[in-house]
């Protein structure tokens, strides 16, 4: 059996990165939280609070904070990568020489890189080289987990020992982790659910009602599973915590940035106006762009909801017109497109 984790580094000082660091410290693991910004490190050390991303949550004195990759990564047995996808490549390049080649890395980022259509774990592998990798995903708003509200997520990896070690390192009486053997599915679920959450927010903004939103989520999970199956993931993964669980939370929660984006657009604001008003990153916007950009692998996979989200966000389509087109599509079977079906 693997020895318990003793020392870790968390790369990324956002709300979720800070929360992961808090969980590790609570379980007695020596942890350093890395920030790319020295001024933010200074504020975290002095205020013992992440006022920008996790206000009101006290940082324990035994949580170290650093802007130096070598200082942060020294002696770490596992690195948790929690940098937004579109900034991940540049941030993780700073750790190329700071993390030994056998140090496992766990991605807790949800998204797809626009320029390459690569997932966070693929970016990590490209930059840091081949090493044990895992994906931490599921319904886990930092605002709730950091305050001790109950949550359950998955730790997915092809490396069973890594999955089990991280499971033990983060679990407590309020935070339950299940191991999972489909990291590809877990990672795609975490990315694609944000696109559907924007659609759910648009539905809320247009005041389309509970029936419409329930149908949107249900059809959305089918799109996610269909896409995942076409790209080497297990379709059943999308009906678990990393898919359906995360989708439900993101589509209904007041903490959801992606649902907020959709809701504001449904109420008549432009994408530019909404993003200008936001402090944190709404990954679904950029995942949508990646899905339908030049490097997209979505072609040939039926994703009508995601297609309409893309048209509303980037082509100026009226959201109500998008709803009309979804409702008037050719009649099909509910599970078409899964298990080798054509639609």
- The catalytic residues are 193
Q: Which phi and psi (to 5°) does residue 337 adopt?
A: 100, -10
Residue closest to 202 by CA, chosen among 341, 64, 312: 312
Q: How far apart are CA 43 and CA 179, in angstroms?
A: 35
Task: Give the strand order in the sheet containing 78-81.
Answer: 64-66, 30-34, 7-11, 78-81, 105-107, 133-137, 151-156, 175-180
Neighbours of 206 (CB within 10 A): 19
Q: How far apart are CA 247 and CA 249, in angstroms?
A: 6
């Amino acid at each position: 059996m693997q020895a318990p984790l003793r020392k870790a580094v968390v790369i990324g000082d956002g709300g979720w990165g800070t929360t992961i660091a808090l969980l590790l410290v609570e379980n007695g693991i020596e942890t350093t939280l890395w920030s790319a910004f020295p001024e933010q490190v200074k504020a975290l050390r002095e205020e013992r609070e992440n006022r920008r991303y996790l206000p009101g949550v006290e940082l324990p004195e035994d949580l170290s904070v650093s802007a130096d990759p070598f200082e942060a990564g020294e002696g770490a047995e596992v690195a948790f990568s929690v940098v937004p996808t579109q900034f991940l490549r540049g941030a993780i390049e700073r750790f190329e020489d700071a993390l030994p080649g056998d140090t496992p890395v766990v991605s807790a980022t949800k998204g797809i890189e626009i320029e390459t259509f690569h997932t966070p774990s693929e970016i990590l592998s490209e930059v840091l080289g081949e090493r044990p990798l895992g994906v931490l995903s599921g319904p886990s708003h930092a605002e709730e987990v950091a305050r001790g509200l109950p949550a359950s997520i998955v730790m997915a990896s092809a490396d069973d020992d890594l999955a089990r070690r991280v499971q033990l390192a983060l679990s407590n009486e309020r935070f339950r982790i299940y191991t999972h053997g489909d990291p590809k599915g877990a990672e795609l679920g975490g990315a694609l659910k944000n696109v559907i959450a924007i659609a759910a927010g648009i539905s809320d903004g247009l005041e389309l009602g509970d029936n419409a939103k329930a149908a949107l989520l249900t059809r959305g999970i089918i799109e996610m599973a269909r896409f995942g199956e076409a790209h080497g993931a297990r379709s059943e993964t999308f009906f678990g915590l990393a898919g359906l669980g995360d989708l439900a939370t993101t589509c209904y929660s007041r903490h959801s940035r992606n649902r907020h984006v959709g809701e504001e657009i449904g109420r008549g604001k432009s994408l530019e106006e909404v993003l200008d008003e936001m402090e944190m990153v709404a990954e679904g916007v950029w995942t949508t762009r990646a899905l339908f950009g030049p490097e997209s692998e979505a072609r040939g996979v039926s994703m009508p909801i995601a297609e309409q989200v893309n048209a509303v966000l980037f082509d100026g389509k009226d959201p109500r017109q998008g709803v009309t087109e979804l409702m008037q599509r050719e009649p099909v079977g509910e599970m078409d497109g899964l298990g080798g079906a054509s639609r």
